[in-house]
Chain A
């Protein structure tokens, strides 16, 4: 009799406890989810905040000289308040252009070899080294550039073409950059190549085509959008690389006219002069403007290549 009484009391306590426990858990979950939402929104809006922040700081110089003048003028005399960014943009373009011209064909050939021709053992040995390359810090690439590339150009290459070169040139910057973007291009193109179905290659082979003809006429055609996306992504990575290029490209504020001329890409400009930023009027705004330019260009390139890759993925999944 008494036991039945106690049992129902226990049951009630148990039920109340479970319900309270449940409420606590649900409350915890709710609070945490709101917290996570805040973190997520904050992180994503970082993109916007950076853009706005840089723009805000650039306003003084945009007021002083119009966008057009800033981008097209070559006169860089900060003490006189003259800021023409043209040489720096050209420096960036030269260095990046050289890097892509060197890296794209080499990496395309490498990716084709690894995916289509290499025996499994060779593949397993080679692939890690391409990946390890991507882990090396940029400053080490710069050191290598100074130790190896500069003398290479100064002593062995330039004398064939020009009278005198210190070796510090956009060519050096381009070569160093090219090696830095090797892993990126190889990995994206390899992935794209791997998505091409074996049956499609079989179809071409069954018609009597050689492996190379199949690559030329079928595989490359199918992989073209992916290759372009890889190139665009690599370009955007190359644009922003600062220290490695800074150490080898000469840092001379003039528009380069040949590959052996020194150059002064935008990131190097920012990095070299930040120290004086606050001492010369408008200088800080000018450097922030340079950062803003970089930000916008890289943003655009990134979005374009991601869109291409996403569309490619969707088409293949269909």
Chain B
């Protein structure tokens, strides 16, 4: 009996330690970035673009990258939504009866979800070469759109499925067409759509591999789709690679900026998800 109790105690301690390690690693990571990056953080970082000699330690900031990232992530999210909302609606409202087919499609999107961003980046590059598009904002948006479509479809699909089918039936029995029913459903899941947007935006803004070959890099804020665009993750990567300590430090500060942006997005979407499920039946 004693042995059994000891065994249980041993594993309980192990479990608590493991949990502390796993949950605590969040603090470790964010803490390290905050700690190191705070030192080099100043207002210039977020308001100025790199001046000449930025990469060897002179003035400037990463405004180019911040704006570039927002452009790429924003453009990709909008484009992605335009494609994903119809797809999610189609699978759920237009394919009734064909259970097997719609589930296969869902599985296909699940698989697409698991494909790493570097493959999307490589493929995006292929498309760009094929159409003669240079490394630019447009190229970056194309590649990142491919990346976020599975995320959006998956999230929207899950959200639509929470709408009780009685609601759909009610609309249909009033004589609406499927499209009109869809509009009703979309209205119902508005917070869910917002969550999906946040999720995909957060993923898009932090990803490197998809913009690596496709968006190029520039010290200026892009003014047209055909100009190359800097992105925060790439800016961080390049700054860290510099031998100059000042520049490395600014890399940490840029990492801090990115972390803060993403944390805000994640926390917002968590709050929304909780709010949304409060009204679930």
- Chain A residues with CB under 8 Å of chain B are 25-26, 28-29, 32-33, 35-37, 39-40, 43-44, 46-47, 50, 53-54, 57, 105-107, 109-110, 112-114, 117-118, 126, 128-133, 135-144, 146-148, 179, 182, 186, 210-213, 233, 236-237, 239-243, 247, 267, 270-271, 274, 287-288, 291, 294-295, 298-299, 302-303, 306, 310
Given known pairs A137-B233, A240-B117, the reply for A130 and B90 (CB within 8 Å) is no
* Distance in Å: Cβ of A234 to nearest Cβ of chain B: 11
B165 is an interface residue with CB less than 8 A from chain A: no
Stretch at the interface among B51-59, B172-180, B220-228: B172-180
Chain A: which residue is nearest B212 at the CB level? A271
When distances are taken between beta carbons in the complex, the residues of chain A under 8 Å from B83 are: 39, 43
When the two chains form their complex, are residues A140 and B255 in contact, meaning their CB atoms are under 8 A apart?
Answer: yes
Chain B residues closer than 8 Å to A107, beta-carbon distance: 18, 22
A117→B15 contact, CB < 8 A: yes
A-side contacts of B25, CB under 8 Å: 133, 179, 182
Partner of A274, one of B114, B206, B213, B237: B213
Report yes or no: A136 in contact with B212, Cβ–Cβ below 8 A. Answer: no
Please name all residues of chain A whose beta carbon is closer than 8 Å to the beta carbon of B206 when the two chains form the complex. Answer: 136-140
In contact, B15 and A112 (Cβ under 8 angstroms): yes
- Shortest CB–CB separation between residue A146 and chain B, in angstroms? 7
Contacts of B16 in A (CB 8 A): 113
Q: Are B8 and A113 in contact (CB under 8 A)?
A: no
**Size bracket, chain B contacts:** 35 or more
A114 to B23, CA, bound (A): 11
Further pairs besides A44-B109, A136-B30, A139-B237: 9, Cβ < 8 Å: A43-B153, A110-B21, A110-B23, A130-B23, A138-B207, A139-B206, A274-B125, A288-B122, A299-B115
Select one of A32, A130, A135 contacting B263, CB under 8 A.
A135
Q: Is B87 an interface residue (CB 8 A)?
A: yes
Q: Name B94's closest neighbour in chain A (CB-CB).
A: A33
B12 closest partner in A (C-beta): A117
Report the 6 A-B pairs with minimum CB-CB distance, sorted nearest first.
Answer: A240-B116, A137-B206, A109-B18, A135-B266, A212-B8, A29-B177
Contact: A144 with B119, CB < 8 Å? no
B107 to chain A, nearest CB (A): 6
* A116 smallest CB distance to B (angstroms): 9
Beta-carbon contact of A294 and B179 below 8 Å = no
A241 close to B12 (CB less than 8 A)? no
The reply to whether the CB of B123 lies closer than 8 angstroms to some CB of chain A is yes
Residues of B within 8 A of A128 (CB): 270
**Chain B residues proximal to chain A, CB less than 8 Å:** 4-5, 7-8, 11-12, 14-16, 18-19, 21-30, 32-33, 36, 83-84, 86-87, 89-91, 94, 105, 107-112, 114-120, 122-123, 125-127, 146, 149, 153, 177-180, 202, 205-209, 212-213, 233, 236-237, 240, 251-252, 255, 258-259, 262-263, 265-267, 270
Q: Which residue of chain A has the shortest Cβ distance to B259 in the bound complex?
A: A140
Name the residue on A nearest B252 (C-beta): A143
Do residues B14 and A109 form an inter-chain contact, with CB atoms below 8 A? yes
Q: Distance (Å) between the CB of B64 and the closest chain A CB?
A: 17
A26, A114, A212, A239 interface centre (most CB from chain B within 10 Å): A212
Q: Provide the bound-state CA to CA distance between A274 and B33, in Å.
A: 28
Contacts of B94 in A (CB 8 A): 33, 36-37
B18 with A267: CB separation less than 8 A: no
Contact call B21/A106, Cβ cutoff below 8 A: yes
Knowing A144-B33, A239-B116 touch, does A186 contact B123 (C-beta < 8 A)? no
Q: How far is B7's CA from A212's CA once the two chains are assembled, in angstroms?
A: 8
Chain B residues positioned under 8 Å from A140 (CB to CB): 29, 33, 206, 255, 258-259, 262
Chain B's closest residue to A267 (CB) is B118
Partner of B209, one of A47, A118, A271: A271
Contacts of B146 in A (CB 8 A): 46
Chain B, residue nearest A243 (CB): B208
A19 to chain B minimum Cβ distance, whole angstroms, is: 13
Q: Tell me which of A32, A43, A143 contacts B87 (CB under 8 A).
A: A43
User: Which residues of chain A come closer than 8 Å to B112, judged between CB atoms?
Assistant: 43, 46-47
Q: How far is the CA of A137 from the CA of B259 in the complex (A)?
A: 8
Neighbouring B residues of A26 by C-beta, 8 Å: 177
Q: Which of A110, A139, A271 contacts B255 (CB 8 A)?
A: A139
Q: In whole Å, how far is A304's beta carbon from the nearest beta carbon of chain B?
A: 11
Taking CB atoms, residues of chain B closer than 8 Å to A210 are: 4-5, 8
Contact B123 A139 (CB under 8 A): no
Q: Given A110-B19, A138-B206 in contact, is the A243-B114 Cβ separation under 8 Å?
A: no
B26 touching A129 by the CB < 8 A rule? yes
B90→A36 contact, CB < 8 A? yes
Smallest beta-carbon distance B247→chain A, Å:
14
CA gap between A107 and B28 in the complex, in Å: 17
| Bound CA–CA A2/B117 (angstroms) | 74
Given contacts A243-B237, A274-B212, contact A294 B119 (CB under 8 A): yes
Least CB distance from A41 to B in Å reads: 9
